[in-house]
A and B are shown apart, each in its own frame.
Chain A
């Protein structure tokens, strides 16, 4: 039984070699692709738990590939990028990545991030329900979807974890740090920019008007709060 299936997408053959050796050694099952196009093709048959996606690739490029993968599945995505700017981070997270790693990286860091991405929030009593409802809003934790009264959207694993954590602490202000550590892991307490992007994406999926959120409220200087108590059904 492997620790998980990982698809490595990078145009550099040497990086694919290293990843294959390292990740196989760490107990993962690994396949690789040279381009975003090839990755999309492979995703159809090989159902990975996680995609390690390079940002700079010939062809469609990493960001476009990330968007396409995200549009079709809820698989975890970690982007690898050479540039370490705020803009790149936001672009990667906006495109649907769960996390990203700067090149060059150390193998222990890579493995830690992979573990964080594959980690699931332990289900509490409240959120162990398969589906919850609050007014028009329906969240299906098994089907990984959200219905905001108008349309149904897919939720990514991290989005699902976020909403699960927030609804299980409904009507409480949850601090940034607490939320980050609960969803991404103990090393992520300071990555408030991650949260901002994910909350924005989540609002687009569960709110009727993401600019004036009804459920996912911002608690200034503290964190976020889920308004109302969703009922299992």
Chain B
């Protein structure tokens, strides 16, 4: 309001200046003065607006009459021709100022619309470049407030039932209206607080609603925002769906791989058992030496099957649960001997050399778990190296830790695969067809070692691969838990 008053005053001042200049300073006639006034009115109209120009027109008409049309110094006009001149002037000034003001307003509208379009464009880009780690609706509310310079923006996503708020101003409440808008498609307009609530529709179906507080916005802009939000939300929903489908597909694939590996792993001893028993059943009169041999194999393989089942149960437990570490004092060398003995069948007369430092300190660890871990690593070495090549198992004391090292003479693990070795279900593409397995062994060994605060690392080049399992000697947990058997949970 103050700005308008100032402009009105300045318009009057402009008329006064032209009048004074013409009256006192320059030689003149009524025509030149008239044009000078007209020029002033046009300048005011094009820069400011209709009210200022109208006031200036009337003031200029009065001044023109008083100072320049005879009789000068009075508001009367002697010559009827001058009446015509005066009213022509007034009409011209008014029409010109009107036209000029309209052109002005249209230009301003165009600029405003261009800005709206720029903002909508920025907003649409923001929808495309979202961060997958955060709910899209939340990002949309923030971007909306940011891009349109709003005091507050609130977005209600009907699908999740969540309300996301953004913007510098507090904008509490209105939740009921937002919900109504999102379910029935109604709109609210609160001019007092400059608030608008609009439904977001996909087709004819409302899927969300948003409320904004801030500068006035054209309906078309609100509609544009609403459409962009609808597209954004729908796109996110489609992506979610695609992710779910992908996840389902992967878990299905995983299941197939597991079942395949299990089938092979369990069927191997089963094959020996069945072949032995059916042989005994079909020809009961074979020599006693071969009967004994068959029964021995069947018995050994039944035990093998039991170990496999125990291991599978252990693995499933380690897979799904926390690892319970039950520590007891253990001799590292003894542990290695036990592991090697338990893999006798798999070793199948291969040279396995055990190297150890003379005197090794005892370690406090979970014997059963660590045996399982070492077994996985040794089994891995046996599986992935040539059938008759030697394997070295070393145990040494160094760097405040006990180091177990298992070295095979396999073809080596490509560097790009080394990083993924300890991932669950990861199986190297180059061997997974030939060597059966779950892709779980090393992941589980790694989990067990980490639960003991140790590390499991691999160092591989063609012809030599070493897995190193390091367990710290001074483990705070170990001190308090030694012999006590208290468990410690480690999240997977």
Q: How many Å from the CB of B302 to the closest CB on chain A? A: 11
Shortest C-beta distance, B377 to chain A (Å), equals 17
Contact A59 B300 (CB under 8 A): no
Given A57-B434, A104-B270 in contact, is the A17-B383 Cβ separation under 8 Å? no
Which of A22, A61, A105, A106 has the most CB atoms of chain B within a 10 A radius of its CB?
Answer: A22
Which residue from chain B places its CB closest to the CB of A103 in the assembled complex? B271
Task: Mark A4-33 against chain B: 1 for CB-CB distance below 8 A, else 0.
Answer: 000000011111011101101100000000
A227 → chain B, closest Cβ, in Å?
A: 41
- B270: which A residues are within 8 A, CB to CB? 103-104
Report if B192 contacts A (CB, 8 A): no
* B345 with A13: CB separation less than 8 A: yes
Tell whether, in the assembled complex, residue A105 and residue B267 are in contact, meaning their CB atoms are under 8 Å apart: no
Interface string of B450-477 (1 = CB under 8 A from A): 0000000000000000000000000000
B275 touches A13 (CB 8 A): no
CA distance A15 to B270 in the complex (A): 10
Q: Note all chain A residues with C-beta closer than 8 A to B276.
A: 18
A14 adjacent to B267 (CB under 8 Å)? no
CB distance from B384 to the nearest CB of A (A): 8
Complex partner residue of B268 from A15, A17, A34, CB under 8 angstroms: A15
**Residues B300 and A14 in contact, CB atoms below 8 Å apart:** yes
Chain A residues whose CB sits within 8 angstroms of the CB of B275 once the complex forms: 15, 18-19, 22, 104-107, 110
Interface string of A127-154 (1 = CB under 8 A from B): 0000000000000000000000000000
Say yes or no: B278 contacts A106, CB within 8 Å: yes
Residue of A nearest to B410 (CB): A58
- CB distance A105 to B271 under 8 Å? yes
Q: Is the CB of A56 within 8 A of B283?
A: no
| Contact, CB under 8 Å: A83 / B263 | yes
Q: Which residues of B contact A108 (CB under 8 A)?
A: 278, 282
* Contact across chains for A59 and B274 when beta carbons are under 8 A apart: no
Among A26-80, those with CB < 8 Å from B are 34-35, 38, 56-59, 61
Chain A nearest CB from B285 CB (Å) reads 10
Would you give the shortest CB distance from A62 to chain B, in whole angstroms?
Answer: 9
Contact yes or no, B269 A14, CB < 8 A: yes
**B33 vs chain A, min Cβ distance (A):** 104
Contact with B along A90-127 (1 / 0, CB 8 A): 00000000000001111111100000000000000000
- Cβ B260 vs Cβ A25 within 8 A: no
Q: Is B379 an interface residue (CB 8 A)?
A: no
Q: Which of B268, B279, B383 contacts A25 (CB 8 A)?
A: B279
Complex Cα–Cα for A56 and B294 (A)? 23
Closest to A22 in B: B279
Is the CB of A3 closer than 8 A to any CB of chain B?
no
Taking CB atoms, residues of chain B closer than 8 Å to A82 are 263-264, 267-268, 271
Please pick, from B260, B272, B434, the residue contacting A18 in the complex, using a CB distance under 8 A: B272
The residue in chain A whose Cβ has the minimal distance to the Cβ of B290 is A21
Name the residue among B267, B279, B386 with the largest chain A CB count within 10 angstroms: B279
Q: CA of A105 to CA of B272 in the docked complex: distance in angstroms?
A: 9
Chain A residue at minimum C-beta to C-beta distance from B265: A82
* Chain B hits for A109, CB < 8 A: 278
B434 with A83: CB separation less than 8 A? no
**Which residue of chain B has the shortest Cβ distance to A57 in the bound complex?**
B434
Interchain nearest-CB distance for A41 vs B (Å): 12
The reply to whether the CB of B348 lies closer than 8 angstroms to some CB of chain A is yes
Chain B residues positioned under 8 Å from A25 (CB to CB): 279, 283, 286-287, 290
Chain A residues contacting B279 (CB-CB under 8 Å) are: 18, 21-22, 25, 107
Min CB distance B287 to A, Å, is 8
292-347 of chain B: CB within 8 A of chain A: 293-294, 297, 300-301, 304, 345
In the complex where A12-B272, A13-B348 touch, is A103 in contact with B267 (Cβ < 8 A)?
yes
Interface residue? B159 (CB, 8 A): no
State A57–B264 Cα separation when bound (angstroms): 11
Taken together as a complex, chains A and B put the C-alpha atoms of A105 and B278 apart, in Å, by: 9
CB distance from B342 to the nearest CB of A (A): 15
Cβ of B162 to closest chain A Cβ, rounded Å:
47
Query: Cβ of B433: which chain A residues have Cβ within 8 Å of it?
Result: 61
B387 beta carbon closer than 8 Å to chain A: yes
Once the chains are docked, how many angstroms separate the CA of A15 from the CA of B274? 10
| Nearest chain B residue, comparing its CB with the CB of A24 | B290
Shortest Cβ distance from A44 into chain B, in angstroms?
18
A172–B434 alpha-carbon span in the complex (Å): 44
Chain B contacts for A34, CB-based, 8 A = 348, 387
Which residues of the other chain, B, contact A22 by a CB distance below 8 angstroms? 275, 279, 294
Query: Is the pair B297, A14 in contact by a Cβ cutoff of 8 Å?
Result: yes
Is there contact, CB below 8 Å, between B274 and A11? Answer: no
Q: What's the least CB distance linking B256 to chain A, in Å? A: 11
On whether the beta carbons of A59 and B278 are closer than 8 Å, the reply is no
Instruction: Please state if B286 and A15 are interface contacts (CB–CB under 8 Å).
Output: no
Shortest beta-carbon distance, A137 to chain B, in Å?
38
> Could you jot down 17 A-B contacts, CB within 8 Å?
A11-B387, A12-B272, A14-B297, A14-B300, A15-B268, A21-B297, A22-B275, A25-B283, A34-B348, A34-B387, A56-B435, A58-B383, A58-B435, A59-B434, A61-B433, A82-B264, A107-B279
Given contacts A25-B279, A58-B386, A58-B387, 7 further A-B contacts (CB under 8 A): A12-B272, A18-B297, A19-B275, A24-B290, A56-B434, A61-B433, A103-B271
